[in-house]
Amino acid sequence: MKSNSLMLALLSVVVSAVILCITHWIYKWRNPKCNGKLPPGSMGFPLLGETIQFFAPYRANNISPFITKKMERYGSIFKTNLVGHRLIVSTDAGFNSFIFQQEGKLFQCCYPKSFNEIAGRENMVSAEGFLHKYLRNLVMNLVGNESMKQKLIPKVEKMVCEHLQSWCGQACIEFREAVAKMEFGFGAKILLSYSESKSSKNLKQAYADFQHGLISFPLNIPGTAYWKCLQGRKKAVEIIKSILEERRATPRERQEKDFLDLVIEEIKKNGSLMTEAIALDLLFILVFAAFETTSIALTLAVKNVCEHPKVLEELTKEHEAILRNRKNIESGITWQEYKSMTFTHTVIHETVRLANIVPGIFRKVLKDVDIKGYTIPAGWIVMVCPPAVHMNPKQYDDPFTFNPWRWQGQELNAGSQKFMGFGGGPRLCAGAEFSKLQMAIFLHHLVTKYRWRVIKGGDIIRIPAVMFPNGFHIQILEKNIQKDATTTESRETV
């Protein structure tokens, strides 16, 4: 009898101790230590944080409901926990600018562990200091202004003309997928000289698997979206590695080298920072960047122009004037013509502002930072939230409306305190200008040679990445073709 009572007493003590430990752990989770006053906010459930709320899909061109509710309750700077990381979310334009200005001093580029698993441990996005500068300079040799002037404009124009012609007259094309395929083929060609039609290795499918779970809860269990994403990355890297090994074994003599040739030369140099691991991660992320963000932005640009006839009218007027001013109307676009497309650049800028393709930019705090009466502890991560700035009525009049004219007379820089469509600070997207060049050339040929109509789709969903759940189906016809389209289900004609 006494032994039973003793066992019950011991069990009661153990249970009480466990409950006390769990309670203490939950308290510490919800009330992290700080040498000053942390910004307000909530940390959600232990381990899970508020990840599910953050990844909840939402429709329309708007700020995430998760961010909106937090801003309404806590203000422009608040704390939370996503995928196991303690975060300070900043929707404050001034603080965001300060973060980018203090790159390498108070803040350092840092993405969640799950991102590095996806992008690669040696990826350019997370690289720091001299390595980042070295990789960026290497990329700028490929897509910098001089390369665009001398080499890339005619290549982009050829790509655009061939694809528009191939789409022309079809009853319907799914524009988002068609543009992504076009951009993928072009990017893989200039980077790796890869051609889907000439290769037995399906690199595009590997990236499709990768994309499926790119923005997902990081649960690496077979069957989950995140697991499929990692499998897609693994396949893509294996294919890129095989291409690299083939090229190293049998170098090809040619007049113009692709990016892979330059990378192999860097690997061979004595004392070079370039290793095979860095090369593979660099090539993997560049192929993805070459088609994903540009194809989304271009799809949204065409959609926006569809929905705003006055924008189409002004855009057409600008590009037809370029044709009239040419000595030879059949000659290709020049750098001077590209730079003269002032209204086109406002259309692109406004598209990128509303697109908010990158929902968050992450920086690790290196030292305690005091801001607006709060202290952000060293070791925490700050997430800059571009959509909250781009959609802020204090920054933009009628911010949810597509209005390219709002940019007229302004210096259209790739980044500023109130515009972060291409990032900010020393880590501005290296391919920003090249992306804009491709969009401008595409719009030039589209509005001068073709008319198009939306068949169906065009709805947007965010998770928080931009998705087209029912596609964006359009029909493209030459302008001189007057016959009716083959379908009667279209919503608009342009």
Q: Is the dihedral of CA 138, 265, 208, 455 positive or negative?
A: positive
Residue in 273, 275, 288, 311 with CA at minimum distance from that of residue 131 = 273
Binding site residue list for heme: 429
Residue 227's pLDDT band, with cuts at 50, 70 and 90, is: confident
What average pLDDT does range 132-148 have in this prediction? Answer: 90
At 489 the pLDDT is 42
pLDDT digits 0-9 by tens, 83-110: 778 899 999 999 999 999 998 899 988 8
Rg of the Cα atoms in the chain: 25
pLDDT digits (tens, 9 = 90+) for 435-462: 999 999 999 999 999 999 999 999 998 8
Q: What value does the mean pLDDT take over residues 279-303?
A: 91
- Kindly state the average pLDDT of the residues 118-142: 81
Summarised one tens digit per residue, pLDDT across range 39-51 is 999 988 877 888 8
Q: What pLDDT, on a 0 to 100 scale, did the predictor assign at position 78? A: 96
Kindly report the length of the chain: 494
> Is the per-residue pLDDT at 485 higher than 60?
no
CA–CA gap between residue 385 and residue 387 (Å, rounded): 6
Question: Where are the chain's structural domains?
Answer: 34-121+357-390
By CB atoms closer than 10 A (0-12, 13-18, 19+), residue 307 is middle
Q: Residue 18 pLDDT > 90, yes or no?
A: no
Q: pLDDT, tens digit, for every residue of 160-175?
A: 999 999 999 999 999 9
Task: State the CB neighbour count (10 A cutoff) for residue 78.
Answer: 21
Phi/psi for 42 (5° steps) reads: -135, 155
Q: Which ranges constitute the DSSP H helices of 43-167?
A: 51-55, 65-74, 93-101, 113-119, 129-143, 145-147, 153-167
Position 492 scores a pLDDT of 45
pLDDT at 85: 84
Average pLDDT for residues 220-235, to the nearest whole number?
86
| pTM over 0.85, yes/no | yes
Over residues 247-262, the mean pLDDT reads: 81
pLDDT score recorded for residue 83: 79
Q: Which of 143-147, 166-170, 232-236, 250-254 has the lowest mean pLDDT?
A: 250-254
Q: How confident is the model at residue 27 (pLDDT cuts 50, 70, 90)?
A: low
Of 256-265, 286-295, 411-420, the one with minimum mean pLDDT is 411-420
Check if the beta carbon of residue 363 is closer than 8 Å to that of residue 181.
no
Beta bridge partners of 473: 174, 456
pLDDT at 285 over 80: yes
Quote the CA–CA distance of 33 and 195 in Å, as a whole number: 54
What is residue 255's predicted lDDT score, i.e. its pLDDT?
Answer: 63
Q: What is the pLDDT of residue 482?
A: 44
* Arithmetic mean of pLDDT over the chain: 86
For residues 349 and 302, what is the distance between their CA atoms, to the nearest angstrom? 13
Specify whether the CB–CB gap between 455 and 433 falls below 8 A: no
pLDDT value of position 358: 84
pLDDT of residue 352: 94
Could you give the CA distance from residue 137 to residue 97 in angstroms, rounded to a whole number?
24
Contact 318, 460 (CB under 8 A): no
The proportion of the chain whose per-residue pLDDT surpasses 70, expressed as a percent, equals 88
Q: Side by side, which strands form the sheet with 58-59?
A: 58-59, 461-462, 466-467
pLDDT tens, residue by residue, 387-421: 999 999 999 999 999 999 999 988 887 778 889 88
Residue ranges of the annotated binding site are 429
pLDDT of residue 484: 42
Measure Cα distances from 342 to 299, 320, 337, 339, 430 in Å: 20, 13, 10, 7, 21
Q: Hey, what are 97's tokens? A: 């600018």
The average pLDDT across 123-137 equals 80
The CATH number of 34-121+357-390, from 3.30.43.20, 1.10.760.10, 3.40.50.880, 3.90.1150.10, is 3.30.43.20
